[in-house]
Structure 1
Amino acid sequence: MKVTNLKQVRELYIIIFLLLGFIASCQKSDKSKLTFYTIAYSSVKTGNIEIYSGSVKGKSTIKSTNENGGYVAWSPDGKQFAFYGKYDDKKTWSIHTMNIDGTNRKRMTHAKNKWDNAPDWSPDGKKIVFAREYKDSEGVWHPEIWIMNSDGSKQTQIKSLKGSNPYFTPDGRIVFSREFEDKSSAISIADIDGKNIIQLTHNNAKEWHPEVSPDGDQIAFMSNRDGNFEVYVMNIDGSNQKRLTYNDVDDWYPSWSPDGSQLIFSTATGEGREDRTIYIMNKDGSSIRKIIAHGSQAAWLKTIK
């Protein structure tokens, strides 16, 4: 009888030991996966458009450059920004890159009297796609989409894509705002070489700034189809389009959280860019709250703690 009890006690200790090891392993694994979220955004608090970074709680804000620049895009490794800067009394806009601490600032494009803007990195970090707009000698605006290596070399126009706000999908395609002669635009998707263009929205409205969810299943964008600009979301094939915000003022620049559960966006709370405010909400449009005053064009990055 005593032998049996000792055997049972020994087996119980073994089970407890294994359970404790499993719990410790889980805690270690969970700790290694602990993340915090950082955003970059534009602000004109100093009088110039400058780039800042901070948390989604609106804390630990750090100014990353004191140069005129905006529309931030993070590199896939989180070590660099791409953005546009303005020259020639704001007549020339150029794409730049820099480290996230503001060092190693490089000017990539130099096309005079043209507006290069809205950069985005390819999933592998080797390419940057961007929009270019300019007015010809007859006063006609030309919306173009260009692509280059991330070091600024081999700048090439994707000639079949006429529009703005290009953004890479996880599988390497490009979603963009396709411009039409009547000044309307539609969210569209195409291969990186400009082939297989598919129009996803059909509203005779202005529809801009598409951003694809991290899993590649959805697109968030802004549209004035219902009067003023609001944030919308749809499936990657254009189905199931839903309006998420309902405001009397414009809502701009939606950006997905790294886990795809939330969106940040900017709201025009006044006349100028300095009067815009950054908000956060769940991906279904619920639980909207303010996070940063005097900010716009926010973009989200996940980093490992």
Structure 2
Amino acid sequence: MKPIYPSISLLLSLLIMSGESRAQDNVQVLDSSYTIAYTSKGVVKIYSSDKEGISNIKSIKTKGDYLALSPDGNTFAFRIYLDGGKTWSIYTMNIDGTNIERLTHAKNKWDSAPAWTPDGDKIAFAREYKDSEGVWQAEIWIMNSDGSERTQIKSLKGSNPYFTPDGKIVFSSEHKDKKSEISIADFDGSNVIHLTNNAAEEWHPDVSPDGKQIAFMSNRDGNYEIYVMNIDGSDQKRLTFNNAGNWHPSWSPDGVKIIFSSSSTDKESHIYMMNKDGSSVQKIISHGRKGIFQR
């Protein structure tokens, strides 16, 4: 299984853009107050919007993507491409773009999809590479939040780890006769349970704040769409219905909304928001990928 990730380049420095009219053209007013971090055209952006309009837009230029926010809301984990894209490494930085630290250093391996444990003490990540026989390997590792004590969870094969509030791991598991499926396991990798079971590509699970549901993307119906299911795999429902590719679902902190990125006819990726039942779909950000809510 070789997951598809959007390529975004980011540079380091901080730029406040709240007064720029062209930035305001890229967002729409929401019916509630939310703060969202996302990547757009090579820049990490953070914006807030409420019924009165945009309160601030901030851009952090750094060279990486695939943001994950720590439970205390103070630190991003993300990946950076190195060696011309041959090496991917996990980094962390403060939410204002300062204090960038490289956490993984494995050459010619793809480290991606960082995910914080509920207590913020550790970060899980996916590691993918071709072994000496040219066979693609998809592994899940875990380390302390400072990058120390990196350990492979050997019983887990796949990508896109994400933790439930009680510390279980939901992930996209590699399967011999299937492309990938959503699975759940205990923190140590034991008791793996497959939650989906078909020949589709199913990635990027995101657990609701109450731990009761999982949003994920799947092409089981021929096109990448956003789905939701209960934490035990029951009651699987399709939420999006369009001809675009829909990616990277993320729950709002109150569990009421889901945002996702979607490709459109202009071949650009934009960020949309919908209710957790799939209703009231609204485009909120133009030219954005992999949005996550901030607390």
- Assess if the C-alpha contact under 8 Å between 2:33 and 2:49 holds in 1: no
Query: Is 2:209 aligned against 1:181?
Result: no
Q: Provide the C-alpha distance between the structure 2 equivalents of 1:89 and 1:183, rounded to a whole number of angstroms.
A: 31
Structure 1 position 301, deviation (Å)? 1.6
Q: Deviations over 1:1-31 (max 9, x none)?
A: xxxxxxxxxxxxxxxxxxxxxxxxxxxxxxx
Aligned twin of 2:233: 238
Q: Provide the C-alpha distance between the structure 1 equivalents of 2:137 and 2:265, rounded to a whole number of angstroms.
A: 30
Query: Is 2:40 aligned against 1:40?
Result: no
> Unaligned 5+ residue runs, structure 2?
1-31
Q: 1:156 to 1:56 in 2, by over 3 A?
A: farther
SS of 1:160's partner is strand
Structure 1 position 139, deviation (Å)? 2.5
Structure 1 position 164, deviation (Å)? 0.4
Aligned twin of 1:301: 294
RMSD: 1.5
Structure 1 position 178, deviation (Å)? 0.3
Aligned twin of 1:224: 219
Aligned twin of 1:155: 150
Q: Provide the C-alpha distance between the structure 2 equivalents of 1:56 and 1:182, rounded to a whole number of angstroms.
A: 45
- Tell me the percent identity: 65
SS of 2:84's partner is coil
- Assess if the C-alpha contact under 8 Å between 2:178 and 2:198 holds in 1: no
**One-letter code aligned to 1:281:** M
SS of 2:154's partner is coil
Matches within 5 A, 1:56-67: 59=54, 60-64=56-60, 66-67=61-62
**Higher gyration radius (CA):** 1
Matches within 5 A, 1:197-216: 197-216=192-211
Q: Deviations over 1:113-150 (max 9, x none)?
A: 11101101111100101101111233221100000000
**One-letter code aligned to 2:292:** A
Q: TM-score, normalised by structure 2?
A: 0.85
Q: Provide the C-alpha distance between the structure 1 equivalents of 2:111 and 2:104, rounded to a whole number of angstroms.
A: 8
Q: Provide the C-alpha distance between the structure 2 equivalents of 1:36 and 1:129, rounded to a whole number of angstroms.
A: 30
Matches within 5 A, 1:1-305: 36-44=33-41, 49-55=42-48, 59=54, 60-64=56-60, 66-182=61-177, 184-269=179-264, 275-302=268-295
- Assess if the C-alpha contact under 8 Å between 1:270 and 1:276 holds in 2: no
Q: Provide the C-alpha distance between the structure 1 equivalents of 2:266 and 2:147, rounded to a whole number of angstroms.
A: 35
Q: Deviations over 1:207-233 (max 9, x none)?
A: 000000000000000000000100000
- Assess if the C-alpha contact under 8 Å between 1:85 and 1:93 holds in 2: yes
Moved more, 182-191 or 89-98: 182-191
Q: Provide the C-alpha distance between the structure 1 equivalents of 2:211 and 2:49, rounded to a whole number of angstroms.
A: 23
Q: Provide the C-alpha distance between the structure 2 equivalents of 1:67 and 1:299, rounded to a whole number of angstroms.
A: 17
Aligned twin of 2:6: none
Q: Provide the C-alpha distance between the structure 1 equivalents of 2:229 and 2:113, rounded to a whole number of angstroms.
A: 21
- Assess if the C-alpha contact under 8 Å between 2:142 and 2:150 holds in 1: yes
**One-letter code aligned to 1:38:** T
- The number of residues matched between the two structures is 261
Structure 1 position 112, deviation (Å)? 0.6
SS of 1:103's partner is coil
Q: Provide the C-alpha distance between the structure 1 equivalents of 2:44 and 2:151, rounded to a whole number of angstroms.
A: 27
